[in-house]
Amino acid sequence: MFAAYAARIDRDQPLNGLELGDRPAPSARPGWTTVNVRAASLNHHDLWSLRGVGLGEESLPMILGCDAAGVDEDGNEVVLHSVIGQSGHGVGPKEPRSLLTERYQGTFAEQVTVPTWNLLPKPKELSFEEAACLPTAWLTAYRMLFTNANVRPGDAVLVQGAGGGVATAAIVLGSAAGLRVYATSRDEAKRRRAVELGAYEAYEPGARLPQRVDAVLETVGAATWSHSVKSLKPGGTLVISGATSGPNPKTAELNRIFFLELKVVGSTMGDKDELRSLLDFCSASGVRPVIDSVLPLDRAREGFEKMAGGDLFGKIVLTV
């Protein structure tokens, strides 16, 4: 079957390790289901995999891709929950959690196999392309907002780095849930787009906000950390799920954190129940994932190059 896969690890030039071509179709195994992939979306996790983060040489070649929507062996339209392990379903109950592509072959292929427990019905209101955007970036944003930031309608939230998949999802979900969402981006066009998607206002990184916020959603890391901490009201929450600009800020702002009793919460992906709630929320509210572009699987390299260059707003989707 045709697939996009990591053939080599290159920490400096990750796309040098990306190959497109034939790979073995998945084999049947008890408790698992093979899905015919209709659409799959890119995540920064795929670039990190090509750099060898979470993926070792001994696991190559590895089909990339965490997210997908497709049709199962019985003809049902399904969405994949991308976290394998710690469920006792299809794998041992003591197996540590992992994302697809870390231990098991991913979704950038004609077929993928996952534990049957990891499949959820695709709402009829969502296209395959839309549904394929949800299991990683959108689920991450959903958990950040509604589980870990624990915000309520009327609260104010700052989303750093508008344009990325998680940040874009947070703007749309937060606005739909009645939050006052502020956003930042270095790019003027992305700031305008953030406002069009529901952000109350959008600013350049580091700009002073008109009010301190109840929560900050941080995926940028070192470049925006100080601004994130300074933007919180006393007792506010900073939720971090990534650090695309680096994990080590020049100043940790520890004095401000303890004096104002701020909370710093790590957030990774989301569980199956949260994905089910996200699917229900999108189908019932009319909220739809923001899609930057849709490409056929044989043009996957173009999508990777666009994501690596940061020239996108929303998700890049590959169709089979």
Cα–Cα distance between 130 and 291 in angstroms, integer? 8
Cis bond before residue 61 (omega within 30° of 0): yes
Cα–Cα distance between 29 and 16 in angstroms, integer? 33
**Once rounded to an integer, what is the mean pLDDT over residues 147-161?**
96
pLDDT in tens, 222-274: 999 999 999 999 999 999 998 888 889 988 899 999 999 999 999 999 999 99
Domain ranges of the chain: 2-133+289-319, 137-266
pLDDT in tens, 282-317: 999 999 999 999 999 999 999 999 999 988 888 999
Assign residue 11 a region: left if phi > 0, alpha if psi is -120 to 50, beta otherwise?
alpha
Pairing of strands 2-6, 18-22: antiparallel
State the fold for domain 2-133+289-319.
Quinone Oxidoreductase; Chain A, domain 1 (3.90.180)
- At residue 276's C-alpha, the angle toward residues 76 and 172, to 5°, is 115
Residues 67, 39 contacting (CB under 8 angstroms) = no
Which pLDDT band holds residue 88 (cuts at 50, 70, 90)? low
> How high does pLDDT run on average in the chain?
95
Domains 2-133+289-319 and 137-266 share a fold: no
pTM as predicted: 0.93
Flag whether pLDDT at 76 surpasses 80: yes
Percent of the chain with pLDDT over 70: 99
Phi, psi of 37 (to 5 degrees): -75, 130
**CATH for 137-266, among 2.10.10.100, 3.60.15.10, 3.30.410.10, 3.40.50.720?**
3.40.50.720
